[in-house]
Amino acid sequence: MRTQSRREGAVWIAAAVVATLALLQYPGSIGEAPVALTYLLVVLGASARGGRRLGLVLALLCFLAFNFFFLEPRYTLALRDRSAWLVLLAFVVTSAVATMLLARAQSQAAAAGERAREIDRLATLGAEALNAGRAEDAVGAIARVVRSGLGVAACEIFLGDGEGRHVQRVARATEGGTETRPVSWDGGAPGDTAGWGADGSMTETQLMVSGDARSLLIPLRVRERSVGVLRLESGRAIHLDAAQRRFTEALAYYAALAIDRVRLAAAQEHADALREADRLKDALLASVSHDLRTPLTTIKALSQAIADEGDERALVVVEEADRLNRFVSDLLDFSRLNGGAPLVRAELVAAEDVIGAALQQVSGTYPDRPIDASLHPPHDLLVGRFDFDHTLRALVNLIDNALKYSPAHAPVRVVAAREGGQVAFSVADRGAGIAPEDGERIFEPFYRARGTADAGGTGLGLSIALRAVELQGGELRYAPRPGGGSEFVILLPAVDPAELAAM
């Protein structure tokens, strides 16, 4: 660049000399105006080709030549009268102003050209990203455009793990082509890298170049969240001017969007796989559970017959068959509630009827356990609009759990009351309660809270109750009971007394 500038300067100085020699061929017959205009053309030409500095240098040289060769007394730098001073001053000012204006126009034209090229590159980048079918292909296209746009040796894009570390390279573009095969991060060369945190994590710096770094790391962020990093490599030190930094930041945002697309695509694939696994699991549970019922019925019938003949060992078989039958029933209910679309009949139901039916069901299993059931207020008619069967199953499961995991002498309290526009069925016990860290997981299938003894349950009771309530648009919540124990509350839509009176 410097050699080219020197060559331009030599050419235009030679042009000024040639113009001077040509004008000297007509001594005394040429006026001051043609001389001034000739030198002005030389100055403008030098400014257009060599820039402002060369233009100003040529203006000074032409000023001296104009004075020395063409103004009286000639061949001296002295001037004869004030009019000569005025001519020289007008020439110098005109030359300087023209040079400055031309330089400014050239600068603006160059900036406009650079912006147009930026827009073209960004448009190309957007088209490449949008036309790519797979998210990985979009990332590869962006890496390719970034490398060619910045003129670096390689551009790599890494996917972050959500905790500020980039763990997998998803694209690498070099002069030889683009690779989108996922590769684990190899550690790189932090000593040669700018924008790299001391602990190997991404820095918060948006764009930083320092020293003679031959690689540059740019954190990729979407909505204030780090999603990955873009790495540039070059055979020589990377130096970016303001326009290049602005352009690089724009490219980095495109890369961040592409990385986010890769992450969302992976999350979608994972979710689809989980849904498919759940569907297969529910189908398998339903099939196995259904097939187990028939042999269980046979085993129980034969065992009961043998027990009736006096063989007490057969009673053990009957009890275990009953236990296994309950487990199969829970599996079938759980599969039906999760896998299919169980019919929900929302109808007017009195809370008292649901509680009475639930107590009747559990009384066979726990004939001697005290249960304190009531309505609040005691004599009001409390009616809701919900599915009787699903609500009964949920309430029975809660009461069964409360009886199973609380002391035999401590009564379980069952209360139905109105809470705003809802009917609240509350089941409270005086058991060991649930540890706070288990509070979020007790509704998961087969999950048992820590410290809970195996009381013969299947681990599906709360899951079934939750699903049965949610199918009706209701809510099932848990809270520790004041004084010790647990309290579960089912919330379902209530019917306003005025609406009942109008029926």
Q: Find, among 432, 431, 466, 460, the residue nearest to 447 by Cα.
A: 460
Residue 293's pLDDT is: 75
> Could you tell me how many helices (H) and strands (E) the chain has, helices first?
11, 14
Count of CB atoms within 10 A of residue 100's CB? 14
Q: What is the number of alpha carbons within 13 Å of residue 439 lying toward its C-beta?
A: 11
CA atoms of 30 and 22, how far apart (whole Å): 11
Pairing mode of beta strands 166-174, 154-160: antiparallel
Residue 455's pLDDT is: 57
Backbone angles phi, psi at 249, to 5 degrees: -65, -40
Locate 323 and state its tokens: 């236990």
Alpha-carbon distances of 345 from 25, 350, 387, 388, rounded to whole Å? 114, 14, 5, 8
Locate 265 and state its tokens: 């695509």
CA atoms of 307 and 329, how far apart (whole Å): 24
Question: Before 377, cis peptide (omega within 30)?
Answer: yes
pTM equals 0.48
Q: Model confidence over 425-448: pLDDT tens digits? A: 999 999 888 888 787 788 888 777
CA atoms of 39 and 92, how far apart (whole Å): 10
Residue 354's pLDDT is: 93
Give the pLDDT band of residue 417 (cuts 50, 70, 90).
very high
Q: Model confidence over 51-93: pLDDT tens digits? A: 888 888 888 888 888 888 888 888 888 777 777 788 888 888 8
20, 23, 26, 32: CA torsion to nearest 10: -110
Would you say residue 222 has pLDDT above 50?
A: yes
Pairing mode of beta strands 154-160, 225-233: antiparallel
